[in-house]
Structure 1
Amino acid sequence: MNGTMLQGFSWYLPADGSHWCRLAEQAPTFAYEGITAVWMPPAYKGEHGAEDVGYGVYDLYDLGEFDQKGSVGTKYGTRAEYEAAIEALHANGIQALADIVLNQKLGADACEDVVAREVQMNDRNAVAENTQTISAWTRFTFPGRAGAYSDFTWDWTCFHGVDWDDKAKRKALFLFDGKHWDATVDHTENANYDYLMGADVDVNDPRVYEELVRWGTWYVDACKLDGFRLDALKHIDRGFYLRWLAAMREHAGRELFCVGEYWKDSIDELDTYLGQERALSLFDVPLHYHLYQASCSNGNFDLSKIFTDTLVERDPAHSVTFAENHDTQPGQALQSFVQTWFKPAAYALILLREAGYPCVFYGDLYGMPNDDNIPAVRELPLLMEIRRRFAFGTQHDYLDAPDVIGWTREGDAEHAGSGVAVVLTDRDGGEKRMFVGSAHAGETWTCVVGEQDDVAIDAEGWGTFHTLGGRLSVYLPEKTADALEHDRELHRIVRETAEDTEELRA
């Protein structure tokens, strides 16, 4: 099986409380397109209630069940709807991955007087010698939940520091007296990049660690989770997540897939984070930036180096490849949007190759409701289906030119009609003579993406494949292409009939 992950949300989804229901309805389509796991957005109540995307975490135990922060449901719906969405994914053979956000808490219920030292924002090791008493938003009592599931109360001792003194009404970074920033975090930015936002959780405080393990095991059991996406790894002590993840797996008695966000474009830093344990996968940030740069370089990016110094090149077993996510889309803090013209090629580079675990972005699959309503990538569902059904067998790379590159997959006996050839360019059109396997000798291959003429495969299994300027071309065996077109039309009819039936019932 060629696994494919879906990031099941984008940043600017409407705050209509309907997204869990939307994912449940889309689950059969996800399965048809080849999705094997969905990374769901943060399910717990955030500082801004039903408007919160989920990263401004308030109450980890409130999955849209309690009247807190102005609403019962989250931006995405209620707990019951969340669990129903997970059930729908499971019914379609799809894993549910929870977004785990443990670095910070926001929206405290009360302030506390705390002795602290001011810290320079751009040098977190530069801590003032003199202390001062500040008023910090650090007391979390969760009155709306009233002790359900956990009676743990968070106070200032559970945190390293904050960036706001409510008494002085002053924004500055403060480290609480007796606390120290975590050591095994990113040191290439701000000298120590433990602090990110809100009240910075001291994950190594024994009481906090025990509570986070207790919460995690509750969450896995209550919602039948299959794994995790870990947020903001470069801001959290590395040893914490190694211990926490081991505790989750021991409790569950199974592997529990895990991918982490360590947002650095240096392959060496990602490799160092993975360490000897290799306990989780990481998003391939270096590859994302290569895709972004290729789309913005006016044809001057060297495509022969598209995979150089990426995680999928160095450690494909622990690389989750992606073209886009909620942080890189326009308007977000890490905006590095792969331009529309290159997006089909970017997805071919992660979906139709043997290495890496690709993650498709919901905003590319369904469009992004930004101010300018960015459209969906038209070719994406087809590329996903080709991955699911035909991208198998030995791979032959032709990454040997700066502007026109290609590769083939020979196919295998276990997947009828399998085999694929890909050619793409970031500049002028061109061609590649490529080997598709002796088993395909004498066949005709059809271009299913890119509007090119058929290709005759010679007696030794070679063919010359073309692409237009700035375009992607994908070829399949002619009989496979015909069957694919028929199957997709049949699927469309079945889906539309089902939708009409649901409308009549409603």
Structure 2
Amino acid sequence: MNPSGNGYDIYDLYDLGEFDQKGSRSTKWGSKTELQSLACSARNLGIGICWDAVLNHKAGADYTERFSAVKVDPKDRSVEIFAAREIEGWVGFSFPGRGGIYSSMKYSWHHFSGVDWDEARKKNAIYRVASKRWSDDVAHEKGNYDYLMFADLDYSNLEVQKDVLRWGEWIGSQLPLWGMRLDASKHYSADFQKKFVNHVRATVGPQIFFVAEYWSGDVRVLMHYLQKMDYQLSLFDAPLVGRFSRISRTGEDLREIFDDTLVGNKPAHAITLVMNHDTQPGQSLEAPIASFFKPLAYALILLRDKGQPCIFYGDLYGIRRGVKNPMTPSCGGKLPVLARARKLYAYGEQCDYFDQANCIGFVRYGNLHHPSGLACIMSNGGASQKRMYVGRSHAKERWTDILGWHPKTVIIDKKGYGIFPVSAMQVSVWVNSAAEGRESLQEPFEEKIYEN
């Protein structure tokens, strides 16, 4: 990996910042020793480590090789632009700095299916190795979306399979992993991915969690992939991100927020999110979300009973460096409150009040160990209110908005109902003012972690 790279320009899977390679021993993030120390400290704090596995390609080859290749149409990779001819590609990986430690595998042109640079002619294009075919169990975008970048690994090659499977077992022996994220999973063989998941669980532990980054706005595509993977992993709910983006900017019907989403169809396999590093402003999959809508979206993924939510670092801490337009923490700084509310109150059965186009609500009733419950109401239009049932056991309780965005106190009547208001284009989360943990919701959150 380039010492300044973020990890997607992957060179050597077996080098975690241990060997003097490509001008540095450490990665951009530090040395292997520091990584292992961090992982152990995280484990002791009850924090799981999820490894971002970049298995689609390799970059930064040690030398070039000549081989026969076919130039293909970048808009439709099934279309050949000219007949096969010899090119010179960066496909030779001998890892001299590692010297065969952990793996003796060396990579040559026959371990790859394509490249994007002909060194002999100094030309950039997508070249398929002439004796190869693109994988057919990948996304069908651009005719065939096997090729993404750099030197594209060929998972029909048994040597490649064996080496990467061995790496999956090895990485689990080096770090106390909780799970893995499979980067760019729509760009390489789903059959191999299934084999990889099964192998890691068999050798590292059956509890290892897997999430695949298969980015598609079409929920049918995601469900087909899940089926092909025998439902052995989870997926990021890209269609949900798209709906958040569109409804936040158009004022469309909130009752349709979960239509055609993964959490609406296969909730046990849905990682729900509002934004990530690819959809933030200025990135390749930018999906702008109106600022007023961010807390509504986070309430919908954090406080409901379906999906496994994922908070974007940039929303929690802001993005202050290396960007044209810095971002402050989203949700008016209230995202930590919503996250704490999930831990304290988002339990038990759920009742939806999706009965108005621009104002929806839901109630969580709590359980034996977390009996407080909550009532959430949101509007992407004008101010509104809803009469919602929270349970007779809460009669006479005084409920207030934990976000502090609505000043009213709601008294629960003897039948267990309350009339819960919300201001225009806002969300309010109502909880008994005497509920356990209320005082901890407003504890200071240190967002300026890089200023110390």
Shift of 1:146: 2.1
Q: Who is 2:98 aligned against?
A: 145
Paired residues in the alignment total 443
Query: What root-mean-square deviation, in Å, do the aligned CA atoms of Structure 1 and Structure 2 show?
Result: 1.8
Q: Secondary structure at the match of 2:311?
A: strand
- 253 and 245 in structure 1: CA distance in 2 versus 1, 3 angstrom threshold: same
Letter in 1 for 2:257: I
Shift of 1:492: 4.8
Residues in 2 aligned to 1:80 and 1:74: alpha-carbon distance in whole angstroms:
11
- 151 and 343 in structure 1: CA distance in 2 versus 1, 3 angstrom threshold: same
- 296 and 69 in structure 1: CA distance in 2 versus 1, 3 angstrom threshold: farther
* 1:474-485 alignment, distance < 5 Å: 474-480=429-435, 483-485=436-438
Of 116, 124, 140, the residue aligned with 2:77 is: 124
Shift of 1:488: 4.7
TM superposition score normalised by structure 2? 0.94
Residues in 2 aligned to 1:222 and 1:365: alpha-carbon distance in whole angstroms:
30
Q: Secondary structure at the match of 1:328?
A: coil
Does residue 215 in structure 1 map to residue 170 in structure 2? no
Of 282, 287, 290, the residue aligned with 2:243 is: 290
Q: Secondary structure at the match of 1:415?
A: coil
Residues in 2 aligned to 1:452 and 1:317: alpha-carbon distance in whole angstroms:
37
Does residue 332 in structure 1 map to residue 287 in structure 2? no
Letter in 2 for 1:224: P
Letter in 2 for 1:403: N
Structure with higher helix content: 1
Shift of 1:439: 1.8
Q: Secondary structure at the match of 1:451?
A: coil
Shift of 1:433: 1.3
Does residue 109 in structure 1 map to residue 62 in structure 2? yes
- Contact map agreement 1:131 1:177 (CA 8 A) in 2: yes
* 1:319-468 alignment, distance < 5 Å: 319-369=270-320, 370-377=323-330, 378-416=333-371, 418-449=372-403, 450-468=405-423
- Contact map agreement 1:452 1:466 (CA 8 A) in 2: no
Moved more, 368-377 or 396-405: 368-377
Q: Who is 1:64 aligned against?
A: 17
Q: Deviations over 1:285-320 (max 9, x none)?
A: 1111111112222x2x11110001111111111111
Q: Who is 2:133 aligned against?
A: 180
Residues in 2 aligned to 1:365 and 1:78: alpha-carbon distance in whole angstroms:
27
Shift of 1:485: 4.5
- Contact map agreement 2:72 2:82 (CA 8 A) in 1: no
Residues in 1 aligned to 2:362 and 2:353: alpha-carbon distance in whole angstroms:
5
* 1:32-51 alignment, distance < 5 Å: 46=1, 48-49=2-3, 51=4
Shift of 1:200: 0.6
- Contact map agreement 1:341 1:470 (CA 8 A) in 2: yes
Residues in 2 aligned to 1:80 and 1:329: alpha-carbon distance in whole angstroms:
32
Does residue 248 in structure 1 map to residue 209 in structure 2? no
Gaps of 5+ in 1: 1-45
Q: Who is 2:253 aligned against?
A: 302
Does residue 73 in structure 1 map to residue 26 in structure 2? yes
TM superposition score normalised by structure 1? 0.85
- Work out the percentage of aligned pairs sharing the same amino acid: 41
Residues in 2 aligned to 1:429 and 1:53: alpha-carbon distance in whole angstroms:
44
- Contact map agreement 2:388 2:420 (CA 8 A) in 1: yes
Residues in 2 aligned to 1:339 and 1:208: alpha-carbon distance in whole angstroms:
44
Shift of 1:201: 0.6
* 1:491-506 alignment, distance < 5 Å: 492=444
Q: Who is 1:271 aligned against?
A: 223
- 353 and 227 in structure 1: CA distance in 2 versus 1, 3 angstrom threshold: same
Gaps of 5+ in 2: none
- Contact map agreement 1:452 1:467 (CA 8 A) in 2: no
Residues in 1 aligned to 2:441 and 2:375: alpha-carbon distance in whole angstroms:
20
Residues in 1 aligned to 2:143 and 2:439: alpha-carbon distance in whole angstroms:
58
Residues in 1 aligned to 2:155 and 2:319: alpha-carbon distance in whole angstroms:
35
Residues in 1 aligned to 2:384 and 2:22: alpha-carbon distance in whole angstroms:
57
Moved more, 126-135 or 56-65: 126-135
Shift of 1:129: 6.3
Q: Secondary structure at the match of 2:115?
A: strand
- Contact map agreement 1:291 1:323 (CA 8 A) in 2: yes
Shift of 1:486: 2.7
Residues in 1 aligned to 2:294 and 2:28: alpha-carbon distance in whole angstroms:
28
Q: Deviations over 1:51-86 (max 9, x none)?
A: 211111111111122222222222222211211221
Greater relative CO (CA pairs within 8 A, separation 6+): 1
Q: Deviations over 1:213-245 (max 9, x none)?
A: 111100011112121111111111111100111
Residues in 2 aligned to 1:166 and 1:324: alpha-carbon distance in whole angstroms:
38
- Contact map agreement 1:452 1:473 (CA 8 A) in 2: no
Letter in 2 for 1:76: W
Letter in 1 for 2:43: H
- 375 and 463 in structure 1: CA distance in 2 versus 1, 3 angstrom threshold: same
Shift of 1:464: 1.0
- Contact map agreement 1:165 1:171 (CA 8 A) in 2: yes
Q: Deviations over 1:112-150 (max 9, x none)?
A: 111111111111111256211001000111222222211
Q: Who is 1:235 aligned against?
A: 187
Residues in 2 aligned to 1:455 and 1:363: alpha-carbon distance in whole angstroms:
34
Residues in 2 aligned to 1:80 and 1:365: alpha-carbon distance in whole angstroms:
28
Residues in 2 aligned to 1:399 and 1:368: alpha-carbon distance in whole angstroms:
34
